[in-house]
Chains A and B, each alone.
Chain A
Amino acid sequence: MLRAIFSHPSGRIGGTIVVIYVVVALLGMFDVTPHSPLQQYRIDRLHAPNMIYWMGTDLFGRDVASRLMKGVGQSFFVGFCSVTLATFAGTVLGLTAAWFGKAWDGLVMRIMDVLLAFPAILLALLIIAIAGPGTWTSIAAIAIVYTPIFTRVVRGPALSIKAREFVDAARTFGSSRSYILTRHLLLNLVAPLTVQVTLALAWSLLTEAGLSFLGLGTQPPASSLGLMLADSRNLMETAPWLLIFPALAIMISILGFNLLGDALRDILDPRTRRSAA
């Protein structure tokens, strides 16, 4: 699999970006940063990038590179938690809807239709309006917005796999329901789920940055890429590094996940594989 990703042109670039992103995020999450992200070097306020402050300092004299690493860690944390939740909820709902059918399927899919009737960012804002801004609300909001998409991604293929002979055979042999659901259905859904997870991660990074930019996500003094961009608005002419580095970090990380998602789709989708061959 790894070899396939790295021999695909988009996969190679996307995969490399994602690996670097995850390393930076983990370093940021565990506070392995050049300076403390909250330490204020008052003499060096709004200092341009140099050997000590690689990406300069902000209005309070805090090191931008350290805050950026912390912010990448924060967005990774939000993205990882929300996408994990959405994948789990969507998979359980999609699988059970496909398996039990009838009223349960109808109920689940109508609820998902209702959730999909909202533009994504609006639904996230509605959830934040109820629960108040903050990191955990952002995670819940992004997870709820993405659950219907995972449910649909799982239910469709699960329905067609359920009708296949090997599932009938497993039933005849007396395999338990949970065994068939996890061993036969779920394993066959790994490919579409993997692609969706990668794309969902890209979207969650984008949404987390957007919500924090609006002041509804991560709250100061904690660091987040969206917050850094919001802070840069009034200072972008005097201290452009406050805008450029977080903007590049967001763009490159989303680009990485999108490229990796595209590559995975090419690799895992049998139709494109056949046409490529």
Chain B
Amino acid sequence: MSYLTRRLSTFPLVMLGVSVLVFVAIRMVPGDAITAMLGTEAGLLTPAQREALANYFGIDQPIAVQYWHWLLGVFRGDLGISVTYGKPVLGVILERFPLTLQLALMSMCVALLVGLPAGVFAATRNERMSDLGVRIFAMIGQSTPNFVVGLLIIYTLSAGFGILPTMGEFTPLLAHPLRNLGQMILPALTLGFAFAASVTRISRSAMLDVLSDDYVRTARSKGVPKRSVIWRHALPNALIPVVTLSGVEFGYLLGGAVLVEQIYALPGLGRLVLDAILQRDYALVQGCVLFIAFNFMVVNLIVDLVYVALDPRIRLGEGG
């Protein structure tokens, strides 16, 4: 079986496994669903009322039947009702998703705009002081949790320049683009920092590999200008691992950056999950986790497909 067929055929299986895990995990929470839904008011119910409610929500049925009904609902886009918001879970998620998507895209832009040139620069100055400087910076970037970066940025801005990042009411991109970008730039820089460090490291090592290849040496000996050798001959071949890394990181970011959203008070997907957990809104936790895992898997699948398209060795079964 080719790599591609194998990869595509396992996708639905793993997704099914994810749905089982999410469904079972939420049912392992101590306490019954009715108490979780009604809170302290559940104590006022008579046993008959309890039974009627359990029957209404279908939770008196065997777990396999419950799972089956739930799965059918998922296929129809019905992820249940959020107790906190009193609205369908999918609706709540889709309200938050554009922000998370925008943040992920902006962070990726920061990472590629900083990381790629830095990696190429370091590779062309291998083992010199400037290379060492870039490497140290990248290592520190990779070792600093993004919420620490966020806190340090906020501190520097407020202590050094007397400005505080805009927090509070969030403005969607389409409503007021400039105000929106003002709110999003610091979170994007915060998330982009560690991401840029990873891009720097991987593009540096990929460029170093490619620069020692024969075809690059040939291009150099033919007298092709250095700039052209680096950017036109070497870089396109060094991009494969960068594409993979960026794709995987992007997949992570689509799951919402819980900590950074928390620091900058952004109403994204990450904070939605966190609030749902803290408020014990299990339908919402379940829906969010499923939605995020699905996105993560789709992005990873696309990354793998792009990787195969870029590197024929895998398609032909040599490298896979």
For A215, the chain B residues whose CB sits under 8 A away are: 278
Cα-based distance from A247 to B15 in the complex (angstroms): 38
Taking each of A110, A129, A216, which has the highest tally of chain B beta carbons within 10 Å of its own beta carbon? A129
**B102 smallest CB distance to A (angstroms):** 18
Closest chain B residue, CB of each to CB of A121: B258
Closest chain A residue, CB of each to CB of B17: A114
Main secondary structure of the interface of A (DSSP, over half): helix
Taking each of A115, A117, A127, A128, which has the highest tally of chain B beta carbons within 10 Å of its own beta carbon? A117
Closest chain B residue, CB of each to CB of A248: B148
**B246 smallest CB distance to A (angstroms):** 15
Closest chain A residue, CB of each to CB of B145: A206
Cα-based distance from A83 to B277 in the complex (angstroms): 25
Q: Does A49 contact B (CB under 8 A)?
A: no
Main secondary structure of the interface of B (DSSP, over half): helix
Stretch in A22-30, A63-71, A178-186, A250-258 touching the partner: A250-258
With contacts A110-B14, A129-B277, A258-B143 taken as known, whether A233 is within 8 angstroms of B21 at the C-beta atoms is no
- Give the total of B residues in contact with A, Cβ under 8 Å: 44
**B18 smallest CB distance to A (angstroms):** 5
Within the complex, which residue of A213, A240, A247, A259 is in contact with B139, where a contact is CB–CB below 8 Å?
A259
Q: Size range of the interface on A?
A: 35 or more
Closest chain A residue, CB of each to CB of B135: A10
Cα-based distance from A259 to B143 in the complex (angstroms): 9
Q: Residues of A with Cβ closer than 8 Å to B?
A: 110-111, 113-115, 117-122, 125-130, 202, 206, 209-210, 213-216, 229, 232-233, 236-237, 240, 243, 247, 250-251, 254-255, 258-259
Which 7 pairs from chain A and chain B are nearest by CB? A114-B17, A255-B143, A119-B255, A254-B143, A129-B277, A236-B155, A113-B14
What are 18 A-B pairs at a CB distance below 8 A? A110-B13, A110-B14, A115-B21, A117-B14, A119-B251, A125-B277, A126-B22, A129-B282, A129-B285, A209-B147, A214-B258, A232-B151, A233-B263, A236-B155, A236-B158, A243-B155, A247-B148, A247-B152
